[in-house]
Each structure stands twice: as structure tokens, then as C-alpha cells.
Amino acid sequence: MTHSSDSTTEARVPWGLVILLGSATALGPMAIDMYLPSLPAIGASLHASAAQTQATVAAFLAGMAIGQLIYGPASDRLGRRGPVLVGAAIYIVASVVCGLATSAPMLIAARFVQALGGCAGAVVARAVVRDRFNHTETARMLSLLTLVMGLAPVLAPLLGGAVLALGGWRANFIVLTAFGIAVGVAAFFRLPETRSAETAAHASTESPLQAYLALFGQRRLVGYALAGCLNGACLFTYISASPELLIKTYGISPQAFGWVFGLNAVGLIGSGQINRLVLRHFTPDEVLAKASLVAVGIAFLMMLAAVSGVGGRWTILPLLFALLASYGFMQGNTMAGALNVDPRRAGSISALMGAASFATGAVAATATGIFHDGTPRPMAVTMFVALIGSALALRILAPRLERTQA
């Protein structure tokens, strides 16, 4: 592939493809974030305990992690289009079943299946980007996908709250069904097949298990994966802890919660776009080296503020905003670095990175919940530990490459 200049690359952004891939990637986030305001209503309607309503979220995260491990190798072996269309179909049917659920166990099962369908878009979108672009251009494109995908956590809680007020919690699943249909139709007519002949030939020589074992043997890829998923664990920790922290601890109204949640998402999206501009002058590895250290520094300050209580919400929330913004500099660049290690296995790498992110996030969120004490301390300590691990993974397993390799 010929490496084009920065100006040419910037001028030729395929916005149609970006919007399509971003929308496909947003299937999962939409189903999580739009759903959050409905949890109390769902519990009351289905006579479910708090543990059961939380299990509907946990089941979805589990489905997102497991499903990606299936779609990744499938997209290398069978092509990019098929898995997206199958995933969209599963997502649509499961969304309908969610809306018709008559018990908590039925909803939990349907949410798991919904996630199995919804994760296909994210896996394939990253593989398609790597099929079409080089290392640095991949990092830029993934930052653009963050712009489209990032609208989900900004708009989905607000939309979910509005739909809940207008039509009840089941109406949320009607909207998600419609979104799944729109993405599926768009993918059918507009998503090109980008898998290379080399990828197809290589995938036919190994099983999915062999592909994953080969990837685990690549030290640099493991470094990028750990750095990305440990940084991403901060986002999952925040998502799980934020309703309790903002509404109960800090006394922010449920209506204002959506706006605070959205503001933090704007910071995450904005940092992703700044990253795209920074990549005109620095390689992805150079950005990662600096961003990982800055994130550790911010996390340390937030942990100090949480432990000491100095400033209360007026100290914690601005630091939390800055900390979540590090996601925009870390995720696209770690993903681009990992995909560059072994482009022939782009689908499997995308799946491994995505599954690791959800699994690590689930562990971090669970740890925060176990140590919950009504303060921001468990969240702050969890984030600090995760970000130290992220920075160490980069320095030990995936040290910065010279510019010629970017």
C-alpha cells in the first residue's frame, strides 16, 4: 500500500465509510447507555431484584466479550460483510425479544444474545480500517470512528430517558430494533468487502484457536492489548460507578446525571479528535508514551483527592473528566499498534483487543463495586492501579518504535 502524505490523507477521509463503521460500532454502546435510565423501571415492571436488573447489564457485557472472539476469526476466514450482516440480524431479533420480555431471566438471556449480535460491527469495523490504511492512518481513522461512536454515550442516556418518559422501558427496545435495522440495511448496500487475498489464504490454514495462540505469542501485541484494555477499564469503572457516585454521593439529580455523563463523553470524543491532529506530527507510539504517563499523573492526583476529601466533587469531577479524556489518546493508538503487528490476522486481533477490553472492564467494575463505601475512593484507586499497569505494559512489552516503522 502506498503511504500518502498527511494533507492528502486528511483531504480524502471517506466520510461515508466512517459514518457506516461508526454506526455499526455504536450498536453495543447504544444498547448499554440508552438502557441505563430504564433500570429502576424494569426492576419494578418485572418484579426483579436489584441483583437481577444489574445482571441484565452484566449479561450484555459478557455477550460483547464472548461474541467478539467468534466474529474476529470468522471475518478473516469468511470476509468482512457476512459477520456484520449476521450480527445485525441477531441484534434485531434479540432487541424485539427484549422488548417483549415477561421476566427477569428472559430479559437477561435476550440481552446476552443482543450483545452477541451487537459486537460484530465493532470487530469488523476495526479490521476494515486496517485493511484499507497503514499504521498511522489507521490510528487517525480509529479516532474518527470514536467521533461517530462517541455520540452514543452523549445522546443515548438522554434519548433513553426521553423514550422512557414517553413510552415506557419497552419503547427503548423498539428504538434499538430500528437502529439495528438501519445499520443492517446500510451495511448490506454500502459496506465493501475489504479482506485481502493474503488474509483469506492465511486464515484458511489455521483454526481460530491457532490464530489466538499465535497472537498471544507476540510480545508487542500483548503489550498494546494490556495497555489499551487497562486504560479502557477506567471507562467501564466510571460507567458502573457513576450513577451511585453522582446521584447518591454528590446529590446530582437523575435528570442532570445525563448531562454530566454526556459532558464527560464530549471530553472523550474531543481528545480523540485532538489525537488525530497530533498524529500529523508524532507517531502513534510517541503519543502513547506521553499519554500513558500523563494519565498516571492525573489518576494519582484524583486518588489523593478521593482519599483526602479535599474539594469534594469540585476536585474529583474535573480530574475525572481529564482522566477519561486519556481514553481518546490511548485506544485508537493501541488498537492501531496491535493491528500493525500482524495485519494478516486483523480480524482476530480486533476481536482479542475488544474482548480483553470488556473482560478487564468487567473485572475493574466488579472490584469497584465490592469495595463500594459511598465515596469516590474505590473508583479512584481502581483507576490508578489500572493506569500504572497500562503504562508498564507499554514500556516493558511494546516500547516505542523508531519513526521509520510507524
Tell me how long the chain is. Answer: 406
Cell of 50: 436489584
Q: How far is CA 222 from CA 10, 60, 325, in A?
A: 30, 25, 23
What is the per-residue DSSP string for 125-170?
HHHHHHHHS-HHHHHHHHHHHHHHHTHHHHHHHHHHHHHHHHH-HH
Q: What pLDDT score was predicted for residue 404?
A: 45
What is the per-residue DSSP string for 48-77?
--HHHHHHHHHHHHHHHHHHHHHHHHHHHH
pLDDT in tens, 105-139: 999 999 999 999 999 999 999 999 999 998 999 99
% of the chain residues with pLDDT over 90: 65
Residue with cell 454502546: 29
Q: How confident is the model at residue 157 (pLDDT cuts 50, 70, 90)?
A: confident
pLDDT in tens, 279-315: 999 999 999 999 999 999 999 999 999 999 999 999 9
Q: What's the CA gap between 374 and 306, in Å, rounded?
A: 11
Q: What's the CA gap between 1 and 3, in Å, rounded?
A: 6
Say which amino acid occupies 381: V
% of the chain residues with pLDDT over 70: 95
> What is the distance of C-alpha 118 from the center of its chain?
12
Cell of 179: 437502529
Q: What pLDDT score was predicted for residue 385?
A: 97
Beta strand segments in 242-348, E: none
Q: At residue 86, does pLDDT exceed 50?
A: yes
If you compute the radius of gyration of the chain from its CA atoms, what whole number of angstroms results?
20
Element (H, E) at 320: helix 313-341
Q: What's the CA gap between 34 and 20, in Å, rounded?
A: 20
Q: What pLDDT score was predicted for residue 255?
A: 67
Q: What angle do CA 309, 313, 314 make, to 5 degrees?
A: 100
Report the range of poorest mean pLDDT among 12-21, 103-112, 192-201, 283-292.
12-21
Q: Shortest CA distance to 32 belongs to which of 238, 214, 189?
A: 238
pTM over 0.95: no
